[in-house]
Structure 1
Amino acid sequence: MAPTTSEPYPPELSSAEIDQLIFTIKDWTIAHGLAVRPPPALVATENDPNVILATTAPVTIFPSPFPRVCFDQARSIQVAYNNLYASIAQDETFLEEIVQEILEVDEFIAELWKVHLKVKEEGYSQSISLGLFRSDYMVHQATDDTQPVIKQVEFNTIASSFGGLSLQTSKLHKYLSSISYPLLQQPLNLGEELPHNSSTSSLASGIRTAFEAYSKGKTPHKCCVLFIVQDPERNIFDQRHLEYEVQQNGSPIPVFRLPYSQIAAQTSLASTPLRQLLFHPPNNPSQTFEAAVVYFRAGYGPSDYPDASAWEARYQIERSHAIKCPSILTQLAGAKKVQQVLATPDDSSNPSILSRFMTTSPSETTVLSKTFTNIFPLDTTPSGLHARKIALDPELCKGYVLKPQREGGGNNIYRTAIPPFLNSLPETHWKSYILMEIITPPPVHNTILRNGLVEKGGVICELGIYGTCLWDCNTKEILHNEEAGYLLRTKGDKSEEGGVAAGFGSMDSVRLV
C-alpha cells in the first residue's frame, strides 16, 4: 500500500522542517476550525472555567497512502448500504428478533426498545426518517501479491461524527501540498492524488432535504433544525461546521443546539394529533419554533441517560412529528448484533439474511457481502459455542476483538484481554457481545501531531464513507439517497482503539496510490 515510487513516504524530515510544518499546521487549523476543546489532560477544567480555549485536533502531518481501488470500491457501494440499513430500520419484526436475544442482558438496548413500543402503541406521528450514516472500513491484503480489498469494521447509524473536521483535514493537506511540501528537501507535489471530499456539504444537504420534506406541510410556526448535543462537548467544531453549512447554504434555516439534559425544559409537544415538537429558545422564550428535523449527536450511549427523565425526553422526541435522525428503530439497526447477523455466511439450509432486504438487486447483495469479515455471536448456538472457544483460548483470541452494542469508541476488548474480561462477566451476559476477526492492514507510516507533540512510526488507517438517506416508512419510498464524502482516521499501529474524540486516533486524509 506504500506509494509506488523509489522515494520513501512520508519523506524523512529535518528538525527544522518538522518545526516549520508544525508551525504552519497549528495556525492553519485554528484559523480554519480544524480544532477541538482541549482534553482535561492537556488543560485542567479549573484552568479554563469559561470554556474559551481550543486546540488543534489530532492530525497527520501528511495524507496517508490508501489504495485507489479500495477507496473507489467503498464509495461505489455506499448508496447500496444506505438502502440496506433503511430497509432494516423498517423491518420491525427483524429488529425485534435481534433485540429479544440481548434485551435481558443489555439494559440500554432494552430501554430503547421500550420507547419504540410505547410510541407504537400510541401511533407514530411521523413516517419519514433520516439517516446520516457512515460505513467504516480497513484495507485487507492477504499477501503482498494479492489485490487489496476493503473489509467493514462497523456501520454507524447515529452521531456519525467528523464530517466537518474531515473536510477541513482534506483542505489542510491540499494547502500543505501546494505551499509547504514542495519546499521540503525531498519535495512533494501530490496534486490529483488527493481526492475531492464533500463531507460537510453533503451531510448538510441530507438535513436540508429532510427539512424541506417536513416544510411541505402546513406549519403554524417557523421551522427549525435541532442538534441534540452533549454538554460539555469537546468535539464542538466538527458539529459547528455542519451547522453553519445547513444555515448558510441557500435559504437560511434556523439551527439550534439543544443539550440533551435540556430537552424537557426547552421543548414541548403541540396539543394536536400530529404532536409537533415545539422549541422555545432559552434566550427568547417568547418565540416558538417547530422542529422539522432532530439530529442526534448525543443519545447513543448509556451515559446520556442518567435517569428516568432522560428516557422521558427521548420518548417525547420519538413520539413527536419531527423527522428524527435517527429514529429509535434506525438507531437499533446499527447495533453490532445486526452486523453480526448480516455477516453470517449463507449455506443451503440458511440463506444469507441480506436477501431479505436486497430483494431487487442480487448483485448488490454479493458486492456488500464481500466487505464482511468473520463475525460470530457469543450465544449458545453452535456458531456461538464455537466462538466462545476461540474467545477463551489464550492463543486463538489474539486474532479477535470483542464488541458490545455501543457507539463512540473506547468500548471494545482486544486480543488477550478477551478471556479475563469474559470470565469477569456472568455467562448469561456474553450473548450481548459479538466476536469479530481483527482486520490486519498492510503497513503504513506517518507522523501525527497531537497536543503539540509529534508521534512518528507505523500507523493504521480506517476509512469511513458517509451516506445520507431519507425514506418514508409508510410508502416504503426512498426519497433521497447519496454517498456523502469520506473520513480517514489514523492511529499508531500499537493502539487498539481508533476514536479521535475518545483520544486514540487522529484526523487524516487520503493519498490515492
Structure 2
Amino acid sequence: MAPSRAYPPDLTEAETGSLLSTIKDWSVAHGLTVRPPVSLVAAEADPHGVLATTVPVTLFPSPFPRSCFEQGKSISKAYNSLYAAIAQDEEFLKGIVQELLEVDDFIAELWQVHLKVKEEGYAQKLSLGIFRSDYMVHQSSPENLPTIKQVEFNTIAASFGGLSSQTSNLHRYLAQSDYKYLENGIQQSEVDLPQNTSTQSIAAGLRFAYGAYTEAEKTTYDPCVLFLVQSPERNIFDQRHLEYELREKNIPAFRLPFSEVLARTSVADTPKRQLLYHLPSNSSKIFEVAVVYFRAGYGPEDYSNESAWKGRLQIERSNAIKCPSVLTQLAGAKKVQQVLATPTSASESAILQRFIKPSAVASEVKSLEDTFTNIYPLDDSPAGLEARKIALDEEKCKGYVLKPQREGGGNNTYRSAIPPFLKSLPESHWKSYILMEIISPPPVQNMILRNGNVEKGGVICELGIYGTCLWNQDTKEIISNEEAGYLLRTKGDQSEEGGVAAGFGSMDSVRLV
C-alpha cells in the first residue's frame, strides 16, 4: 500500500512552518473551519462567538487503495436502496424496536412519534435520505489484498459533507503550490486526488427534494429548506457550505435551533398540514417548509424536555419532506446493522433478500455482504449468548468494540474495557448493545494539524461515502438515487474514536495508490 519512497516525507522545521502557514491561511479563506473549542479559546475570551479556527486536518492526503475506494463508491446506490427499503418496512423496524423498548428510552420515544403520526395519517409520502456509509480498509495479512469493511451506516445528520470537498481542494492546492518545493519534493503528478463533490452533491439531493415538493404542491407561501441545528454549534461552517450552495440556486434556506421548533414553526390547519416557518427577524414573513434537514435530533441530549419531543412530533406530522423521517432514523440503529451482518447458517436465507429486488439479489447481496464485518447481538439468542462469552473473556474481547444505538461519536467501548463496562450495567441492558469485530487496517503515516499543534505518526483512516435518495414511502418507488462524494477522517492509531467535532479525528482526503 505504501509508495516506493517515504510518504509523507520528513519535514524540516522551516518546511513545517511554511506548510502550516499555507494551510491555516487557505483554510480560513475558504471556510475549512470550526468554532474553536474552549480548550483553545476560553468562552470569556470570545463572548460574542466571532472566532473560527482551522478544522483539524492532515498536512498530506493519506494513501488509500484505489480498489477499496472504487469498491465503496460502486455500492453506494445499493446501500441507498437497501436503507430506503428498510425505512419502508414498518414490521421489520417494529421487531427491532420491540427488542430495545425496555432498555433504550430514546428508541422507544422515536417509535412513539411514528405511532402517533401513523394514527393521524402521514401527510407526506416522500422521504429524503442523506446517507453516509463509513468503511475502514481491512487487510488481515500483508499477503492478502485489502478490502473495505463497514463501520456503520448513518441515516441522520451525516456530517462533514460541506468540509470534505474543501479538504480535497486544500490538498489539491498544496500539491500545486507547496509539496513540490520540499527538500524531498512530491510532484503534482504523484498525488492522485479523486474529485470530491460532496458539497455540491448533497446540496443537489436537498434541491431535488425541494423541487419534488414545489412541483407537487401549490404553496401559499414562498417555499424553503429548513436546517434544524444544535445551538451552540461548533461545526457550523460545514453546514453553511450546504446552505450557501442552495442559496446560489435561489432556494431560501434557514437555520433553526432544534430547541426552537415550537416557537418558530406551526402546522397549518388544513388537510395538507403544511409546515410554516415564521422568520425571527421579520414576524410578518412566513415560509412554507418544503424540506426539513436534521443536523440535530440524533441523540437524547437534544431532547432535554417534553417540548423537544413535541417539536419532533410537529415536524413529523407535517407535510414537509423530512430528511430523515423517524422511520429512516430508526433504520440507522446499530441493531439494524447487526441483524444485517450477523453470520447465518447455510440453511438460512440472508436477511438482505427481504429488502432487495429479486432481480438484483445475486449481485447486490454479494457486493453488500462483502463489506460486512462480523457483528453480534448481546441478547438471549444463541448468537447473543456466544457473544456475551466473547465480550466477557479478557483475551477474546481484545478483538472487539461494543456499540450502543447512538450517533455522533464518542459512545463506543473498546477491547479490554468491554468486560468491566458490561459488568457495571444491569444484564437486562446488555441487549441494547452490539458487539462488532474490530477491523485491521494496514499501517499509514501522516501528520495532523490540530489546534495549532502538529501530531506525527501512525494513523487510521475511515472512508465515508455519501449518498442521497428520495423515495415514496407508500408506493416504494425510488425517485432519485445518487452517490454524493466522500469523506476521509483520520485519527492517530492510538485513538479509538474518530469523531472530528468530538475532538478525536481530523479531516483528510484520499491519495489513490
Q: Match for 1:295 among 265, 274, 293?
A: 293
SS at the partner of 1:504?
Answer: coil
- Tell me by how many angstroms 1:349 deviates: 3.7
Amino acid across the alignment from 1:400: Y
Distance 1:190 1:474 in 2: 51
Shift of 1:190: 3.9
Question: Are 1:403 and 2:403 counterparts?
Answer: yes
Given the superposition, is the C-alpha separation of residues 190 and 418 from structure 1 closer, same or farther in structure 2, using an over 3 Å criterion? farther
Match in the other structure for 1:367: 367
Displaced runs of 4 or more, over 6 A: none
Partners in 2 of 1:436 and 1:344 — Cα distance? 10
Separation in 2, partners of 1:350, 1:284: 60
In structure 2, the partner of 1:331 is 329
Equivalent in the alignment of 1:271? 269
Match of 1:27 in 2: 25
Which one of the candidate residues 252, 255, 262 is aligned to 1:254? 252
**Counterpart of 2:507 in 1: which secondary structure?**
strand
Return the alpha-carbon distance in structure 1 between the equivalents of residues 367 and 271 of structure 2. 44
- C-alpha distance in structure 1 between counterparts of 2:297 and 2:14, whole Å: 45
Instruction: Give SS of 2:435's match.
Output: strand
Is the CA contact 1:340–1:434 (under 8 Å) kept in the aligned structure 2?
A: yes
Provide the residue aligned with 1:8 in structure 2: 6
Shift of 1:506: 0.2
**Matched residue, 2:467:** 467
Alignment deviations for residues 157-204 of structure 1 (CA, whole Å, 9 cap, x no partner): 000000011001000000000000010011112446100001000000
CA distance in 2 between counterparts of 1:98 and 1:258 reads 31
User: Offset of 1:316 from its aligned partner?
Assistant: 0.2
Per the alignment, residue 302 of structure 2 pairs with 304
The answer to whether the 8 A contact 1:344-1:352 is kept is no
**Percentage of matched positions with identical amino acids:** 70
Measured on the aligned residues, the alpha-carbon RMSD in Å equals 0.7
Equivalent in 65, 68, 81 of residue 67 of structure 1: 65
Looking at structure 2, the residues matched to 359 and 385 of structure 1 have their Cα atoms a distance apart, in angstroms, of: 33
Alpha-carbon distance in 1 for matches of 2:224, 2:248: 13
Secondary structure of the equivalent of 1:193?
coil
Q: In the alignment, what sits opposite 2:214? A: 215
Aligned to 1:51: 49
Q: Of 80, 83, 89, which residue of structure 2 is paired with 1:82?
A: 80
In structure 2, runs of 5+ residues without a counterpart are none
Distance across 2 between alignment mates of 1:189 and 1:348 = 51
Report the 3-state secondary structure (helix = DSSP H, G, I; strand = E; otherwise coil) of the residue aligned with 1:466.
strand
- SS state of the match for residue 483, structure 1? strand
Superposed displacement of residue 44, structure 1:
1.2
The 5 A counterparts of 1:81-120 are 81-120=79-118
C-alpha distance in 2 between matches for 1:365 and 1:350: 14
Deviation at 1:464, TM superposition (A): 0.2
Distance, in Å, in 2 between the alignment partners of 1:118 and 1:30 is: 46
Paired residue type of 1:446:
N
Would the aligned equivalents of 2:490 and 2:498 in 1 still touch at CA under 8 Å?
yes
- For 1:105 and 1:253, locate their aligned partners in 2 and report how far apart those are by CA, in whole Å: 42
Instruction: Give the whole-Å Cα distance in 1 for the aligned partners of 2:183 and 2:405.
Output: 49
The one-character-per-residue Cα deviations of 1:427-449 (angstroms, maximum 9, x if unpaired) are 00000000000101000000000
CA distance in 1, matches of 2:188, 2:502: 31
User: 5 Å matches for 1:144-163?
Assistant: 144-163=142-161
Task: Show the 5 A alignment for 1:304-323.
Answer: 304-323=302-321
Relative to the length of structure 1, the TM-score reads: 0.98
SS at match of 1:194: coil
Amino acid at match of 1:421: F
The question of whether the paired residues in 1 share the 8 Å contact of 2:180 and 2:188 is answered with no
For 2:224, the equivalent position in structure 1 comes to: 224
Tell me which moved more, 142-151 or 334-343: 142-151
**Pairwise CA distance, 1:346:** 3.0
Deviation at 1:145, TM superposition (A): 1.3
Q: Report the equivalent of 1:243.
A: 243
Contact 1:150 1:371 in 2 (8 A): yes
Counterpart CA distance in 1 for 2:180 and 2:209 is 44
SS at match of 2:289: strand
Specify the SS of the correspondent of 2:337: helix
CA deviations 1:306-335 (Å, max 9, x no partner) are 011100000000000000000000000000
Matched, 1:421 2:425: no
